[in-house]
């Protein structure tokens, strides 16, 4: 059996990295860069006090990534404060999602995490008001094509992404965490009801700890965009380690997954963080997640084959002959999970044949 | 070992197979390529550079490759791959060597954030660096090439690396990039220097590279202290004129030419402030290279080395 890729070994047992030779460090840094995890690796080595044991060359690359990540966190805080100002007049509770939430709630998963957009969740009935307020403060729609507009507004769980005309920053305004058209639909009202205020930032909230984990899981295992698959799995790992240090968290997590109908993504999240990153999941929690979220055996065998490949960095050293196919199949699966088959067929037909023609005939 | 110690066949094999690890200043780049234009350019202009151990850590992994499909044969193109990732649009295959140079600049300027990186030519004399930030077309490279042939040590013709930890200017001597009319001017000016062949119709017009002086390459490990920050401007027919420029203005102009000033935040500000503080700052207009060199040779550092 081939040994697991260095990047997995690094996140499982950073203490053992001091045994790597220069060529192995070379490969580790490349895998981490490709996975967008260099700065996270820097933080991890710092936390475990093993950074000094790394040779000078790799340590320099980790420090470079850290400089970028520090700047990024600052930019996120500033952007969030501008969003808060823009939406102040609406008096709408703004729930930060994913990366921005980790940064503002100062969770360990924030360190070294690079992301391009800020995601927020607002009540569906307030969408128009939020959109108008953002436009008034300089954010403009990015998708001008009439079909794209309809695609987002009718079927998706978010507005078309909006970009600030001067700063070029992008905000995704969600009203739910999965598309309206998806077969499972965790009720956004329940998510909003349990949201937690961000300390010192009136009007800003994050999802409750269990909901944050479930959102991260549904995003990774239902969304099909696996360019940052391992980075997202590391997020889950860090969230689980952080919240899971309270024993009461685990039963709550299982309970919440059942309420929100997200037991399947939770099952995958616990299964793959445990198998790939050796996240410490209590046996009882794993058993419960299996009981409620286990797919059929054949499906699981297929998912194991797909995710064990697609969750690795897209680096040649982490790929086998089936890696590309695995990513493609998961992409198709994600579209499938997003929309009922007929709607999906219609959407793909439009994207393949009509959108290009319309683009050509545009002035 | 130096690259010149490899036979042409060995060089080609290395670039083709395991990759050639070239040390330039503080960085090691592992290069793979089978494109003749790139192999030729590297063999010619990097002859004096040390080859790093291939089992060692390399900072950047790059490959210049032909694309798949028809563009391999019809109007062939070259791709620049940064550890397998396409970072630029493909260029015509005969631009492989300039693309290698531009790509290498990108590798440094978009990663090496332990330095404040300014788009500038840098030379050194008596331990002091002259940093010349300037936009393209200001005659920065021509002046840099001429100074490098006249007793100034070449630190870089594109990237000033100011080490944040100690404010030292770190050498990254690499071939000097010349454009359009500058190419023939330098060929006449330095007939015994080594030049790559001209490549026309690039995004910067016609380009050629001049080999960095061997002494500059050999002394790539010796940093310099900041001495002068000079903003050069070539103006046809103009007299040679060196004037003082206020430090606040020099600061802003250098910041405009820095790649990672805002990324570095407070540290970027502190590094640039220290650099400007320690340097005497000037604007420089010229049209005659000999007079220009004369003026530079009379420069006195603001603070003598202790």
How far apart are the CA of A286 and the nearest CA of chain B, in angstroms? 38
Structure-derived torsion over alpha carbons of residues A23, A28, A31, A32, reported in degrees to the nearest 10 = -150
Interface of A with B in 312-351 (CB under 8 A): 315-316
Q: Is A23–B57 a contact, with Cβ atoms under 8 angstroms apart?
A: yes
Q: Two tokens at A165?
A: 């005309």
Both structure tokens of A93: 């509770």
Q: What is the pLDDT of residues A208-219, one digit of tens each?
A: 999 999 999 998
Contact B264 A67 (CB under 8 A): yes
Contact A60 B85 (CB under 8 A): no
Closest by CA to B202, choosing from B180, B187, B186, is B180
Contacts of A26 in chain B (CB under 8 A): 56-58
Q: Which two tokens stand for residue A235?
A: 């997020």
Q: Which residues of B fall within a CB distance of 8 Å from A72?
A: none
Q: Does A57 touch chain B (CB under 8 A)?
A: yes
For residue B84, give the nearest of A21, A63, A316 by CB distance: A316
User: What's chain A's average pLDDT?
Assistant: 89
* Nearest residue, CB atoms, A315 vs list B84, B113, B265: B84
Q: Where are the beta strands (DSSP E) in chain B?
A: 20-24, 27-33, 60-65, 77-82, 85-86, 91-92, 115-125, 128-133, 153-156, 159-163, 169-170, 176-179, 199-202, 205-210, 225-234, 241-244, 280-286
Match 């993504």 to its residue by tokens.
A265
List CB contacts (< 8 A) between A21 and chain B: 55
Contact B3, B47 (CB under 8 A): yes
| Contact residues, chain A, for B112 at CB < 8 Å | 64
Q: Is the pLDDT of residue A359 over 70?
A: no
Chains A, B: CB pairs < 8 Å: 49
Predicted confidence (pLDDT) at residue A361 exceeds the cutoff of 70? no
- The pLDDT of residue A185 is 80
pLDDT higher than threshold 70 for residue A339: no
Nearest CA in chain B to A31: B83
Q: Looking at residue A214, what is its pLDDT?
A: 96
Asked if B112 and A64 come within 8 Å (Cβ–Cβ), the reply is: yes
Question: β-strands B225-234, B241-244: how paired?
Answer: unpaired
Distance from C-alpha of B122 to C-alpha of B101, rounded to nearest angstrom: 17
Query: Is residue A268 within 8 Å of residue A217, measured between CB atoms?
Result: yes
- Note the pLDDT of residue A181: 67
For B268, which residue in chain A has the nearest alpha carbon?
A67
Q: Do A57 and B111 touch (CB under 8 A)?
A: no
Mean pLDDT, to the nearest integer, of A313-337?
84
Could B114 and A60 be called an inter-chain contact, meaning their C-beta atoms sit closer than 8 Å?
A: yes
Per-residue model confidence (pLDDT) at position A1: 52
Which residues in chain B have their CB less than 8 angstroms from residue A30's CB? Answer: 61, 83
Residue B119 sits at φ, ψ, to 5 deg, of: -70, 100
Interface check for A58 against chain B (CB to CB < 8 A): the answer is yes
Tell me whether A64 touches chain B (CB under 8 Å). yes
**For chain B, which residues lie within 8 Å of any Cβ of chain A, measuring from their own Cβ?**
28, 55-59, 61, 83-85, 111-114, 262-265, 267
Chain A: closest CA distance from residue B103 (Å): 17
Q: What's the pLDDT score for residue A136? A: 95
Cβ contacts (< 8 Å) between B113 and chain A: which residues?
63-64, 67-68
Separation between Cα atoms, residue A141 and residue A162, nearest integer Å = 5
Determine phi and psi for B23, rounding to 5 degrees.
-95, 120
Residue of A nearest to B114 (CA): A64
Interface contact B57-A22, CB threshold 8 A: yes
Chain A contact set for B21 (CB, 8 A): none
Determine the residue of chain B that is closest to A24 in CA distance.
B57
Q: Which residues of A touch B84 (CB under 8 A)?
A: 34, 315-316
Which residues share a beta bridge with B284?
Answer: B232, B242
**Residues A196 and A208 sit within 8 Å (Cβ to Cβ):** yes
Residue B227 is classified by DSSP as E
Residue A258, pLDDT above cutoff 80: yes
Read off the pLDDT of residues A101-160 as tens digits, 9 standing for 90 and up. Answer: 999 999 988 887 777 789 999 999 999 999 999 999 999 988 777 777 777 777 678 888
User: Is the Cβ pair A315, B265 closer than 8 Å?
Assistant: no
- Where does chain A show beta strands of DSSP type E? 94-97, 117-121, 139-141, 162-164, 170-174, 196-197, 204-206
* Closest chain B C-alpha to A36 CA, distance in angstroms: 13
- The whole-angstrom separation of Cα A149 and Cα A13 is 46
State the DSSP string of A62-129: HHHHHHHHHHHHHHHHHHHHHHHHHHGGGT--EEEEHHHHHHHTT-GGGTT---SEEEEE--GGGHHH
- Using the beta-carbon criterion (under 8 Å), do A25 and B57 form an inter-chain contact? yes
Please count the residues of chain B. Answer: 306
Contacts of A25 in chain B (CB under 8 A): 57
Structure confidence at residue A358 (pLDDT): 64
Can you give the pLDDT of all 306 residues of chain B as single tens digits?
A: 999 999 999 999 999 999 999 999 999 999 999 999 999 999 999 999 999 998 999 999 999 999 887 777 778 899 999 999 998 999 999 999 999 999 999 999 999 999 999 999 999 999 999 999 988 888 899 999 999 999 999 999 999 999 999 999 999 999 999 999 999 999 999 999 999 999 999 988 999 999 999 999 999 999 999 999 999 999 999 999 999 999 999 999 999 999 999 999 999 999 999 999 999 999 999 999 999 999 999 998 877 665
Which chain B residue's Cα is nearest to A316?
B84
Nearest to B163 by CA among B119, B226, B216: B226
Range A248-277 average pLDDT:
96
Domain ranges of chain B: 3-110, 115-298
> What pLDDT, on the 0 to 100 scale, is given for residue A350?
73
Task: Give the pLDDT band of residue A40 (cuts 50, 70, 90).
Answer: very high
Distance from CA of B55 to the nearest CA of A (A): 5
Provide the token pair at B225: 């202290």
pLDDT at res. A151:
74
ipTM for the complex shown: 0.93
pLDDT reading at A362 higher than 60: no
Answer yes or no: do B61 and A30 touch at CB < 8 A.
yes
The pLDDT of residue A351 is 73
pLDDT band at A9 (very low <50, low <70, confident <90, very high): very high
């Amino acid at each position: 059996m081939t040994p697991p890729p260095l990047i997995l070994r690094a996140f499982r047992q950073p203490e053992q990295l001091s045994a790597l030779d220069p060529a192995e460090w070379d490969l580790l840094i490349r895998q981490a860069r490709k996975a967008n995890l260099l700065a996270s690796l820097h933080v991890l080595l710092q936390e475990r006090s093993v950074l000094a044991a790394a040779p000078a060359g790799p340590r320099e690359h980790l420090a470079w990534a850290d400089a970028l990540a520090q700047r990024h966190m600052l930019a996120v805080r500033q952007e969030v404060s501008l969003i808060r100002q823009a939406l102040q007049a609406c008096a709408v509770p703004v729930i930060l999602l994913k990366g921005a939430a980790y940064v503002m709630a100062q969770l360990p998963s924030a360190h070294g995490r690079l992301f391009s957009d800020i995601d927020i969740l607002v009540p569906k009935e307030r969408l128009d008001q939020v959109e108008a307020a953002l436009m008034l403060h300089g954010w403009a729609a990015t998708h001008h094509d009439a079909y794209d507009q309809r695609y987002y507004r009718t079927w998706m769980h978010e507005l078309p992404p909006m970009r600030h005309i001067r700063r070029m920053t992008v905000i995704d305004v969600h009203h739910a965490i999965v598309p309206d058209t998806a077969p499972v639909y965790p009720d956004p009202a329940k998510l909003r009801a349990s949201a937690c205020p961000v300390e010192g930032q009136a009007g800003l909230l994050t999802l409750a700890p269990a909901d944050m984990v479930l959102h991260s899981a549904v995003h990774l295992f239902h969304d099909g965009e696996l360019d940052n698959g391992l980075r997202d799995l590391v997020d889950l790992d860090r969230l689980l380690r952080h919240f899971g240090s309270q024993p009461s968290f685990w039963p709550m997590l299982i309970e919440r997954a059942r309420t929100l109908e997200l037991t399947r993504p939770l099952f995958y999240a616990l299964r793959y963080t445990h198998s790939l990153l050796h996240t410490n999941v209590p046996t009882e929690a794993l058993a419960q997640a299996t009981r409620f979220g286990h797919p059929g055996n054949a499906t699981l065998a297929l998912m194991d084959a797909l995710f064990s490949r697609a969750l690795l960095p897209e680096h040649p050293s982490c790929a086998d002959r089936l890696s590309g196919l695995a990513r493609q199949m998961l992409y198709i699966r994600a579209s499938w999970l997003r929309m009922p088959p007929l709607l999906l067929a219609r959407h793909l037909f439009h994207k393949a044949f009509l959108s290009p023609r319309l683009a050509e005939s545009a002035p | 070992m130096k690259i010149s110690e490899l036979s042409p066949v060995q060089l080609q094999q290395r670039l083709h197979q395991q990759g050639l690890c070239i040390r330039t200043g503080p960085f090691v780049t592992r290069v793979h390529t089978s494109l003749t234009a790139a192999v030729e350019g590297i063999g010619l202009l990097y002859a004096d550079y040390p080859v790093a151990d291939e089992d060692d850590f390399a900072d950047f992994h790059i490959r210049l490759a032909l694309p798949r499909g028809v563009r391999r044969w019809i109007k062939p193109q070259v791709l620049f791959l940064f550890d397998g990732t396409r970072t630029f649009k493909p260029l015509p295959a005969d631009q492989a060597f300039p693309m290698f140079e531009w790509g290498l600049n990108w590798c440094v300027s978009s990663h090496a954030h332990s330095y404040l990186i300014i788009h500038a030519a840098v030379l050194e004399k008596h331990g002091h660096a002259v940093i010349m930030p300037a936009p393209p077309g200001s005659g920065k490279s021509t002046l840099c090439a001429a100074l490098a042939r006249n007793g100034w040590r070449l630190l870089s013709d594109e990237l000033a690396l100011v080490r944040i930890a100690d404010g030292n200017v770190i050498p990254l001597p690499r071939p000097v990039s010349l454009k359009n009319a500058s190419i023939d001017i330098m060929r006449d000016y330095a007939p015994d220097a080594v030049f790559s062949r001209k490549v026309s119709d690039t995004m910067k017009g016609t380009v050629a590279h001049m080999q960095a002086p061997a002494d500059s390459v050999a002394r790539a490990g010796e940093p310099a202290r900041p001495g002068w920050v000079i903003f050069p401007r070539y103006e046809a027919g103009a007299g040679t004129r060196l004037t003082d420029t206020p430090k606040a203005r020099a600061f802003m102009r250098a910041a405009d030419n820095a790649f990672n000033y805002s990324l570095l935040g407070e540290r970027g500000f502190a590094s640039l402030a220290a650099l400007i503080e320690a340097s005497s700052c000037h604007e420089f207009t010229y049209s005659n290279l000999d007079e220009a060199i004369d003026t530079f040779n009379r420069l006195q550092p603001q603070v003598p080395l202790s």
